[in-house]
Structure 1
Amino acid sequence: MKALYQHIADNPLVYINLDVERAAQLDLGAPGYYIIANNTEYARQLAEGRTNIVLVDEGRILSSRELLEHPRTEAFLAMVQTQHEKAPGIVVFKNIPQIEAYCTQKGWHLLNPESALIARVEEKISQIEWLGELARFLPPHTVSTVKEIVWPGKPFILQFNASHTGNDTFLIESETGLTELSAKFPERVARTFSYITGSTITSNNVVTPRGTLVGSVSYQITGLAPFTDRPFATVGNDWKLASKLLSVKNAEQFTTMVKEIGDKLHADGYLGAFGIDVVLDSQSQKLYLIEINARQPASVPTESFLQSKQDPAGTTIFEAHLAALCGLPIDVPVTHIEDGAQIISRVTETVNSVTPQAMDALTKIDGLTLIPSPGTTPGGEILRIRSEHGLMKAHGELNELGTRIQAIL
């Protein structure tokens, strides 16, 4: 996107984020583009020989907010402003009230959408009101306090408006499970709906000044061992399998859902990337919206990597995201992909690192890119593996390449 690179050259942009990978899908030699991130093994590889990437080392992984408030950040932003004779725009992975308030206090220009809108769209109860008539995309649901919920005789999903201790979604499999949760949070309001068996399909999309760009659909890899020990933890995406799972009618319905949600976001002043997760009911073959991510989804870097591999001259979803945040019109579609995947190894009760022997074995497999991450908390990311080819044979079933990776880990 020549217009984006020219804009950044004239209007410097600083991406501040705890994980450098989320910011590294633009030409790192582009004039006017800067990154501030944590000092990790992968970040050091990217930053070697570059002066536009600042790595902060405090002996632990700092959050985006902590990086923003770090003394090195203020000094670096001042240097960028002096060099370009213009204050830089700032981008973060996801805007929150504390980040927004700090940028306002400092007089810094934050390009991300307003945090209040993000919260309304993402949080499970406020989302229903925000969707309005688009709530028809959701599964049939009810809203009540936990103490008012009656065991329906079959498993169901319970969601709080916002996360509590890192979790806002629960699979209630028994009356005992409901009773225990009710005892802990009797007055909390929750959204409930029947447990739907099926594949989760997702896409990364961009709201631009002129409308919504629909990204390529991917199958969401969930709960696979040894990548995680949590049944609902996302451990990757597969862009090849998704196109096989969706019928022509399903694909059209999915695109309609994305565009209508994107149009509503646009009407509320939102610009930039957003993602939706949809479950394909294995029995009815109906699509149900289960999540909206009003931010740059975590799979954007890998999708952009695959798009660049397929068409170096095309437009990636990450480029479109930054262009939209800068208010630039985008007149071309993003590159469409139907192959490639990523799979993530997470911290479990028994595993908190990948052995050197495993890393060595993985490096010998063609078409893989390994991105280590110093995850330490339960569920944290240890290793992200990008593959130029799909890893899934069917829903919940790895193909030959995926099984090979699984055996190594």
Structure 2
Amino acid sequence: MRRILDRLGHPERRLPPVIHVAGTNGKGSTVAFLRAILEASGFGVHVYTSPHLVRFNERIRLARPGDGVLVGDDELSDALATCERLNAGDPITFFEITTAAALLLFARHPADVLLLEVGLGGRLDATNVVDRPIATVITSISYDHQEFLGDTIELIATEKAGILKPTVPAIIAPQSPAALAVIQRQAARLCAPLRIGGKHWTVTPELDRMIFQDGNGIMELPVPRLFGRHQFDNAGTAIATLRSIPALPVQDMAVKLGITSAEWPARMQRLVRGRIAEMVPHGAELWLDGGHNPDGGRAVAGALADLDRRDARPLILVVGMLANKDCQGFLMNFAGLASAVIAVPVQQDTALPSEEIVQIARRIGIPAENRDSMVEALAAATSRGLVPAPRILITGSLYLAGEVLAANGFPSI
């Protein structure tokens, strides 16, 4: 990264103020809340996230007057071509060269702030070239990508804490004691002030509202638009971050508008229109979530349990996963909650065969079968004569979620 950025004239030194976000789960949702609140306050916001679901352009959002827009094809192509030419055939990964292109684009356009999401880990991530962000954020840390980050929470947390910078405030979502201890040690070495969820700030759901509290006082807020109890922590992390940055003052009304308008596809997203949604008969519900690790599954299962308390329905999971994910750890969260699993293939070379998903589901006590396509899976889910009509969740992979959104055709991304 240092080599190609030098050849590009160091765009990482010409960026707007950066908020750098790492974590295992909740990065994208926290960034979505940050963006929505900042834009409601009138700030111009660049955003870098990954992976994309349907189009690569989703990864790069450029500030424009009144709102942001996804980078256009021509501008993206030009930036990538520039990076390819200056890289001159030297070894470089896909994520490194595309991150370089994103930084080049962000440096070319004025904005008030850049929300920069880590791709993988943090310490050695391609985004970790910004020496002086205005804040760093670490969302929930759990097991994922152990082949790169290590097989203990402490090792994974060490990689995530690699984004902390000397004296730069760090906002930390609620963590396990093991992860938090690692972050605190790194912050102490760097004299980075911490604002820790559950200690320096709290967020509490109460009926139809959310209560946020920190050293600056209490805020009574509406329930976040993004569904699930885990989104309260993500919204709280975003609010705590902005209340730690005097250079980005936001009003309470902007916070309220932001958390009730934030959108982030394939995170407990209800599909009610489009080609895939129309395959589900009237009365049934169709949901989509890209969760793919045990903690992500736990969050989704909690959201589904909340739905079930309000409106009890049989739950059917349509699941596709990659082979490097903990399928059993993910599905264990739904034992006793799901009435069936229907496994489907994911169109990736590293996909876990659907037959193996079936075996894993049956081993933990969930009836399971496999189908060759999403069309067949939804037909099987809705032909069981269940009363009331079922709640169907498509889950297990962001790649699968992207396939579904592309096939659904509405809303476009």
TM tier, shorter chain?
0.3 to 0.5
| Greater share of residues in helix | 2
Higher-RCO chain (CA-CA 8 Å, sequence separation at least 6): 2
| TM-score where L is the length of structure 1 | 0.33
